[in-house]
Amino acid sequence: MENCGCGSSSNGNELKEIVNFAIDREQEAADFYYDLSKRSKVQGIKDELIKFAKMEEGHRDKLKSLDVEGIMNKDIEPVTNLKISDYMVDMTPTPDMTWQDILNIAMKRELASMNLYNALAAKAKSESLKQMFTSLSKEESKHKLYFETIYDDEILKEN
């Protein structure tokens, strides 16, 4: 997203693309956690994963409710390059994944979401928009910590 003039009318579609990208990532995360909940044999983990899926849907809904046109009319500094590909997860879930693989993907997904929202918060001039992205980033960091803790307890301690 070179030279994103997020906020200028000539490049207003860039901001829409960024928000739509974030909406898509939140939906993918929700779908991912619902799928993981079906694979888990531990009821407590199933319940947590469903909670995460619902939180991700809440994030998606917050982003969907953004008044992108209104934001575009505000003075938001240009974004040179968000490096969207840096926020992509490089591992694709498969039916034969191990629990370690699942945790690895979950941690990477949460880190990618956290980094995306941090980048968006850093570029937002609107204080309310900055607060929303910062809040979303903090929620994603809590999810990441949850999976890191499980990984530490169940994978690293076994090795």
Rounded CA-CA distance 105/147 in Å is 10
- The three-state secondary structure class of 145 is helix
CB 24 within 8 A of CB 16: no
Domain 9-156 superfamily per CATH: Ferritin, core subunit, four-helix bundle (1.20.1260.10)
Rounded CA-CA distance 71/128 in Å is 10
pTM as predicted: 0.66
CB 87 within 8 A of CB 110: no
pLDDT score recorded for residue 89: 57
Longest Cα–Cα distance in the chain: 55
Listed by start position, the domains of the chain span 9-156
CB 30 within 8 A of CB 109: no
pLDDT score recorded for residue 150: 85
pLDDT score recorded for residue 106: 83
The model's pLDDT over 40-49, given as tens digits with 9 standing for 90+, comes to 778 888 888 8
Please compute Rg for the chain using Cα positions: 17
Ordered mean pLDDT values, 10 residues apiece, the chain (159 residues): 39 70 90 86 84 91 78 49 53 72 83 87 81 85 86 79
- Name the residue type at position 105: I
